[in-house]
Amino acid sequence: MQDFGVAVCADSVGLGKSRLAATVAKLYGEQNNGAKVAIIAAKKLHDNWEREMAELGFSSNNYELYNKNLMSRKGNNFLTEFNRYGGADIIILDEAHEGIRNYRNRIHRTCLQIQEQDRKSGRQRYFLLLTATPWNNRREDIYNILSPFLNRPEGFNQLNLPGELVTWFQSRDIGVENFTDNTEIFRRVYKELFLQRTRQMLREATPDMNLYAKRVAEWLPVEFEISTEEALEQIFTQFEDSLFIPFADPIRYLRENVEQRSLLRNQRRLFLQRAESSMYALQRTIKGFGSRIRKLQNLLEQVTPDADGLKQFLLVHYEFESLPKNQPTLFDQDDWETFNEDYEEEEEDESDEDQEEGQQRRQQLRTLINNYTDALRDNPEQAQYIYNRILSDCEGDLRQLDQVQNLLAGEFLRDHKREQVTNKVKELIDKGHKVLLISTFSDTVIDYYDYMCRDGIIGAKGIGMAIGATKSYYRNNSSAAITVAPHNFYKGSNHRTGVKRAQVFRLFAPVASCKKPTDRPTKSEEISVLIGSETLSVGQNLQDADYIINIDLPWNPMILEQRIGRIDRPKAHKCENIYIYYANSESQLLRQASRLANLNKKLVGELATGEGEIPTITDVKNLGASIYGDTLFDSEVLPGYIDFINSLVNARKLEQGNLQEESLALMLINYVQSNQCHSKKVINVTYGTQWFH
């Protein structure tokens, strides 16, 4: 921090980043009498921070605690509050990757505003950033995390780093590409500014303490009815290529490039993710997709099949103009929740543009609509073709959705996966264990919670739920919505809704959540099961549990690492192993082999040769831009995942499935089994029982 004005603590999850930051703040205050300390963290983590600061002797008037959520909202007064009384001298920024790694995000831009204010006033502050997953999707994440806080770039010169780094971090236009393309410079900067301890380091430094349990991966096999497998196979094969989703950016039809649109790909991916998650999530998605397609179809049928009609259709669709009076929308507003879930995207955050940028893009879109439709005035046959093509795609999509709806009618009522996950939970809690379950989607969480609450065994042991916001729930596909509060718990005949988040955690993980033993609930009050969305994946101490069940898998392995980190922390009780369950059917795991290309790229970079083979790696320096090449990421990512696919592919003897996906799976299996990496930077990676060093 002294050299650059910023440092990043990138310790693995569960290694005590908050305690380290509180200690740094304590020492800085002792060395600089009267120094002001500020912590910027999500509101849901404030209770954690208050406990950590109290442990170091801070009283509530010794520091300011700011709500990071406010930084992302339009019209917020965050800067006014932040600069009150001159502002802080040392700032701790928690979960620094959230919002800041996307340079277009409002949180990132707010940090740049603070930097510019300090530059103009000559103010010197120090920033300590905390994140367990700084390298999330690409090297640019590292640039974006550092750039708003580097207020002493001359530190590069003092450490004999190349002088051009100063220019790179002062000018984004030239800096990002130069910084991320130069592996040697990138890794030197990372080493200097990022403190990253791993469990492996702690195990080697303190071999007798046994602070962390061993991770054990377990497959929780899910068996569906034959008709269900057929329907899921149709979704994961035909839908990926033949579902056109016309409501996803319909201007693409005028571009004569119907397929090549990122919004279409995202909507398809959403459909696939929710099909993997739960029958309830899939059913709501089918209903939501169908409603939006019918709305678009109805709108199109009201205009003429020519250039003027298409223009009117697009202007209404993109909300430049309003629907005619008394025109039904055919779209239940509650269905919008289907497309507004609190889940993490794999590649990048949604751009949170300011008002001026948004207006510019809207104007560009309107200009495109005008230009495309004007060009069609001289080509009425093409206009008629486009009109008919959109209607045809609407009809085709609705037909496919109806087919799947019919095939899954029985499964929607029963949901074999939900049954089998529930049975595993009952088996574990009957042995006295506590179980954490996490899903990408909040409506899956609500459906599982509702189902498990009605199970006598789980109800007697107690279950809690945590999601990001209030949601609507349609039990048994009812047309009447039930409003569900974000935090609830149920035990015996006691069903409490709308409680505080901390209250649910206290009941599930009293040892981890309560500083004083007297604050803990009695044994009869504790709950044995907690289910939640990704809102549980960050910053929560839930290590009273030794078992976690992944109802579905996130598309970003860093999110999975965050999930596991909730229970993979130093425990007050003796624990040899923690158990990580993956609830998937055989066919689901095989289908997910296609994800391994992206996973492999993130973990070890572009290694494949022109013939598609992955070469032997003998030195970490040979790894390109990747998590393992650039960072000291901790032991296991997707533990056991390759083993699952290995056993399944062998069992199937490569007789079924997509040949390209199977070949990729085999390459990665061979890579994990045969490669060894050695360098001064020791990397230990576990896939189940297979290691490469």
* pLDDT at residue 620, as a whole number: 56
* pLDDT at residue 681, as a whole number: 34
8 Å CB contact between 206 and 363: no
* pLDDT cut 70: percent of the chain above it: 78
Cα–Cα separations (whole angstroms), residue 266 to 273, 291, 402: 10, 18, 22
| pTM greater than 0.75 | yes
Over residues 156-185, the pLDDT tens digits come to 988 888 889 999 999 999 999 999 999 999
Q: Which residues contact 172 (CB under 8 A, 6 or more apart)?
A: 103, 147
Helix axes 183-193, 172-181, angle to 10 degrees: 100
Question: Rg for the chain (alpha carbons), in Å?
Answer: 26
* pLDDT at residue 589, as a whole number: 64
- What CATH number does domain 415-584 carry, 2.70.70.10, 3.40.50.300, 3.40.50.2000, 3.90.740.10? 3.40.50.300
pLDDT under 50: residue ranges of the chain: 260, 328-353, 608-614, 636-642, 644-645, 648-649, 651-693
* pLDDT at residue 676, as a whole number: 35
* pLDDT at residue 690, as a whole number: 28
8 Å CB contact between 330 and 296: no
Which CATH fold topology does 6-197 show? Rossmann fold (3.40.50)
Mode of pairing for the β-strands spanning 529-532 and 463-466: parallel
Q: Give residue limits of the domains in the chain.
A: 6-197, 227-412, 415-584, 587-693
8 Å CB contact between 17 and 7: no
Over residues 314-323, the pLDDT tens digits come to 999 999 998 6
Greatest alpha-carbon pair distance for the chain in Å reads: 81
Q: How far apart are CA 334 and CA 337, in angstroms?
A: 6
Over residues 114-172, the pLDDT tens digits come to 999 999 999 999 999 999 888 877 899 999 999 999 988 888 988 888 889 999 999 99
Angle (CA) 42 59 25, round 5°: 65
